[in-house]
Amino acid sequence: MAEHQKSKLVRVTTFLLFGFLVLSFGLWGIGDIFRGGGHTQVVATVGDQEITRQSYDRALEQEIRATQESVGTRLSREQLMALNVPQRALAPLIQQALLTQLAADRGLVVSEAQLLKAIAREPSFQVNGTFSKEAYQQALRNANMSEGQFLALLSLDVARESMFDPLTEAVAIPDPTARLLFGYLAETRTAQFVVVDAAGITDLPAASEEELKQTYQDYAAQFQAPEYRAVTLLHLSAKDFYGEVTVSEDEARQRYEATKDSFDQPEKRGLRQIVYDDQASAEAALAELATGKTLDEVAAEKGTSVAEIAPQTQKQLGAVLPGLADAAFGLPADERYGVAETLLGWHLFEVASIEPPKTSSFEEVKDKVTQQLRDERANETLSSIAAQMTEEFNTGATLDEVSQKLSFPLTKIEAIDREGKDRSGNYIDGLPSPPQLLPLLFEGNDTGVDSLLNQAQDGSYFAYRVDSITPPAPRPYEEVADQVKTLWERLARDRLAKEKAEALAKEIGDKSKTLDQIATENGWTVETSKPMTRFAAKPDETPSPSLPAKLFAAQVGDAVTASADEGTVLAVLTEVTQVKADDDAERFGNLQASYRRALSAEMGQQMTLALQQEYPVEINQKALDESLAGY
């Protein structure tokens, strides 16, 4: 039990040290412990509990950071929404509030003596094995938290877990079962193999017309034409009016003089960096640089490599990592290294290069200034014409009447699919903002109805009419005959490769030939697989996803075949490795812990669902949207 109580405290002190609370099995979220004066916006209510905008913002930042680190790139707001990041950030907070409400209703209280005893046992607050008040207070200062706030947070955590612990402590896999399961999962099989390459089979028989048409019927879905729509489109852009506007050199020069600062190139800085999880580690590494070590040497000690950031302006870098940009461009000229915090963590950076600011002359930017003026005047004309068109549409004029009255031609598109392609599979050029237009064209099933004038995301304007709809249907055989033949040949090669591999496997089984002899006769190379578990499926684990199952049904020396992307794998089982729990105590312990976590998480989810029936959950969607708008 002492270890169990200790684990609770570790989770809370992790919050102190890293700025967020990580609770067991992902069930608990971040408490709203930083309550201050004034109005606090609420993003959700659970019974009597309120989830504040402040606590949600912290949880959202954490979830965004974790998601971006997992995918290795910065994500747009739309991508974050598609990955359900806002919902994933809110869910733990709701779960926490449900359990906090239940704890309050049950009157669960944790004494101050219990908390102080737990704090004294926490290793993070100890120096040389003894509780250090200085270390404890420093941790609170780092988290910008008072002792009362910390004790209140810890009290809530312990109270909630006192309800959940009886459930999780009862979750355990019997030792004999765990050992049996471990042996089943840890066993590996190794094989030698060759690949019967389907592409290498060239002596194909000629396909009959009957065989080709049967292939066409069997794989009709591959020759299905999508839904097409015939469309009449009116599209206006600023480029349509370039011929009507002129810009003199004097006008361009006047614009340059009025806005010359905007053509100057600001200073650029190129950076090299290492990212740490916490401030202390980053600053410790910075101190090592002061002793004469290089950034590469510090990175090597960390077991990582230095990342390069190409030269950028402060504005460019600030659009992605504002904290890093401020620190890098605020560094004094005689300093090379610094530390900065961003969503990605703590950056130890080196200013590797500096490109000084540059002033541009009129001659250097003349063409750019002229184009700016041309664009402005063309857009003014475009806006004027668009206003006239809108007025005509509002009075009931049809698309054809507006086109004729204002002398702008209509474009007839015979067939367009949902991806913007024609019947030949080619993208149709000149469409106004396809991501915006295409959903509108396929929004309903009405035909002959004129739209109003829409402004595209690129600033142009468009109106449209769906004239007819052609539903999805198989393409005529004559139209796809070449594709059918190509498919038949690929299938025939795959079939012959499989038949050849199976025949060779039979020869190995009859002891008439060995795999090495077969490889020599066919000019193949025998390879040795990695040890495969029963469920190996990735390309770096097995030459074929279906091979492990066949090997685990075989005996050493047996030959098996398995389909692969390039043909058929012919493999001979060479080694069976059985692993007992006592042989790998760490993996066995991980299996038991993983099983316990999975069952505990499931029980926690069921508990949460039950509590939601008792305590209503109300969400302020507007507040959630405002939080995400900052990314």
Tell me the CATH number at 273.
3.10.50.40
Do 6 and 144 reside in the same domain of the chain?
yes
Q: Residues 569, 599: one domain?
A: no
How much is the average pLDDT of 400-416?
A: 94
Are 49 and 97 in contact, with CB atoms under 8 Å apart?
yes
- Dist. CA 39–CA 44, nearest whole Å: 15
For 214-249, the pLDDT digits (tens) are 999 999 888 889 999 999 999 999 999 998 888 999
Radius of gyration of the chain (CA): 34
Q: Rounded to whole angstroms, how far apart are CA atoms 338 and 450?
A: 60
Domain-located, residue 492:
yes
Query: Are 56 and 107 in a shared domain?
Result: yes
Give a yes or no: residue 99 inside a domain.
yes
Q: Are 359 and 264 in contact (CB under 8 A)?
A: yes
Pair 113, 40 in one domain = yes
Mean pLDDT of 364-392: 92
* Stretch 452-456: mean pLDDT: 92
Residue 260 located in a structural domain: no
CA 340, 342, 343: angle at the middle one, nearest 5? 160
Taking the model in full, what pTM does it have?
A: 0.49
Question: How do 617-619 and 42-46 pair as beta strands?
Answer: antiparallel
71 and 94 housed in the same domain: yes
Which residues have CB under 8 Å from 495's CB, separation 6+?
none
Q: Which residue has the higher pLDDT, 402 or 165?
A: 402
Instruction: Give yes or no: residues 397 and 467 share one domain.
Output: yes
Q: How confident is the model at residue 510 (pLDDT cuts 50, 70, 90)?
A: very high
Q: Are strands 224-225 and 473-474 parallel, antiparallel or unpaired?
A: antiparallel
> For residue range 551-590, what is the model confidence (pLDDT) as tens digits?
999 999 999 999 998 999 999 999 999 988 888 888 888 8
**CA end-to-end span of the chain, whole Å?**
43
Q: Quick one: 22 and 167 in the same domain?
A: yes
- 585 within some domain: no
Tell me: pLDDT of 97 over 70.
Answer: yes
> Does residue 302 carry a pLDDT above 50?
yes
Model pLDDT, residue 353:
93
In a domain, 245, yes or no: no
The Cα 411–Cα 224 span in angstroms is: 27
> Are 208 and 233 found together in one domain?
no
Model pLDDT, residue 612: 78
The tokens describing 582, both together, are 């006592």
Asked if 274 and 396 sit in the same domain, the reply is: no
12-21, 23-32, 494-503, 580-589: which has the minimum mean pLDDT? 23-32
- Structure-token match 């939080």, residue found: 627
pLDDT in tens, 250-294: 999 999 888 888 888 899 999 999 999 899 999 999 999 999 999
Q: Average pLDDT, whole number, for the chain? A: 84
Instruction: Check which CATH number belongs to the domain holding 144 and give it.
Output: 1.10.4030.10
Looking at the structure, do residues 21 and 37 belong to the same domain, yes or no? Answer: yes
Residue 601: which pLDDT band, with cuts at 50, 70 and 90? low
Which pLDDT score is estimated for 190? 97
Q: Average pLDDT, stretch 487-494?
A: 94
Please report, rounded to a whole number, the percentage of residues in the chain having pLDDT higher than 90. Answer: 48
Q: What is the dihedral of CA 111, 115, 116, 118, to 10 degrees?
A: 140
pLDDT at 172: 67
Specify if 554 maps to a domain.
Answer: yes
Per the structure, how many domains does the chain have?
Answer: 4
Q: What is the pLDDT of residues 57-74, one digit of tens each?
A: 888 888 888 887 766 667
Using pLDDT thresholds of 50, 70 and 90, give the confidence band for residue 109.
Answer: low
Sheet strands side by side (includes 307-313): 307-313, 268-276, 345-355, 337-342
pLDDT of residue 626: 83
Residue type, 409: P
CA 155 to chain centre: 36
Phi, psi angle pair for 553, to nearest 5°: -100, 5
Mean pLDDT of 139-144: 70
- One-letter identity of residue 554: A
- Give 511-549 pLDDT, tens digit per residue: 999 999 999 999 999 999 999 999 898 899 999 999 999
Residue 308 counted as domain residue? yes
97 and 195 together in one domain? no
For residue 582, being part of any structural domain is answered with: no
Tell which residue, 54, 13, 40, 26, has the closest CA to residue 145: 13
- Checking if the pLDDT of 16 tops 50, the result is no
Asked if residue 162 and residue 52 are part of one domain, the reply reads: yes
Residue 429 is part of which domain span?
227-240+374-471
Poorest-pLDDT segment among 81-90, 169-178, 446-455, 487-496: 169-178
